[in-house]
Amino acid sequence: MVLKTLLILAVNLTLVLPVFCQSFGVLPDSTVLALRKGVAGFQSRYHSPSVVLAIVHEDQIIFGEASGYLDMAQKVPASLDAQYSIQSLTKVFTATMFMQLIQQRKLRLDDPVKKYVPEFKADGQAHDQAATTLLQLATHTSGLPRNSPADIQFTKQIDRWILAASPEKAIEAAPKKAFLQSLASIPKEYPDYQLLSYGNRHYSNLGYSLLGIALERAAKTDYAAYIIKNICQPLHMNNSAFYAESPARNGVAKGYFYDEPTQDYRQVPVFKPNSAVPAAGLYTSARDLAKFISFQFQTNSANADQVLSQKNRAMMQAFNIGWKPAYPYLVHEGAMLGYRCELVLNPDLKIGWVVLTNTTDFDFSRINTYISGLIQPVFSPKPVSDLAKFTGTYQLAGGSDSLRIWLKEGRLYSSYLAGVLPESPLEAMGNTHFRGSGKGGYSINYEFIATSISDSTILNMGQLMWVKR
DSSP string, 347-366: TTTTEEEEEEE-SS---HHH
> What is the per-residue pLDDT for 11?
42
> What is the per-residue pLDDT for 4?
40
Of the chain, the percentage scoring pLDDT greater than 70 comes to: 91
Secondary-structure percent of the chain, ordered helix, strand, coil, rounded to 5? 35, 25, 40
Residue type at position 178: A
Of the chain, the percentage scoring pLDDT greater than 90 comes to: 75
> What is the per-residue pLDDT for 7?
42
> What is the per-residue pLDDT for 182?
96
Considering only residues 421 and 267, tell me which one the structure prediction assigns the higher pLDDT.
267
How far apart are the C-alpha atoms of 251 and 69, rounded to whole Å?
Answer: 10
- Rounded to the nearest angstrom, the gap between the alpha carbon of residue 217 and the centroid of all alpha carbons in its chain is 26
Tell me the mean pLDDT in the region 425-450: 87
> What is the per-residue pLDDT for 75?
96
> What is the per-residue pLDDT for 125?
60
What are the φ/ψ torsions at residue 113 (nearest 5 degrees)?
A: -60, -40
The listed range with the strongest mean pLDDT (7-11, 194-198, 302-306, 349-353) is: 349-353
Instruction: Give the dihedral sign, CA 140/145/149/154.
Output: positive
Across the chain, mean pLDDT equals: 90
**Under 8 Å between Cβ of 331 and 342:** yes
> What is the per-residue pLDDT for 452?
59
Using one digit for the tens of pLDDT, what is the confidence trace for 158-210?
A: 999 999 777 888 999 999 999 999 999 898 888 888 877 666 668 999 999 99
Which of 16-20, 61-65, 196-200, 436-440 has the least mean pLDDT?
Answer: 196-200
> What is the per-residue pLDDT for 396?
96
Tell me the mean pLDDT in the region 232-238: 96
> What is the per-residue pLDDT for 193?
82
Taking the domains of the chain in order of start, what are their residue ranges?
Answer: 84-379, 387-468
Q: Give the pTM.
A: 0.87
How far apart are the C-alpha atoms of 391 and 408, rounded to whole Å?
Answer: 10
Which of 1-15, 66-80, 376-390 has the least mean pLDDT?
Answer: 1-15
Exposed, middle or buried: residue 56 (CB in 10 Å: 0-12, 13-18, 19+)?
buried
Using one digit for the tens of pLDDT, what is the confidence trace for 336-352?
A: 999 999 999 999 999 99
Answer whether residue 250 shows pLDDT above 70: no
CATH of domain 84-379: 3.40.710.10
Residue type at position 354: V
Position 8 confidence tier, pLDDT thresholds 50, 70, 90? very low
HSE of 345 in the Cβ direction (CA atoms, 13 Å)?
Answer: 25
> What is the per-residue pLDDT for 446?
95
For the chain, the farthest-separated pair of C-alpha atoms sits apart, in whole angstroms, at: 85
Specify the CATH class of 387-468 in words: mainly beta
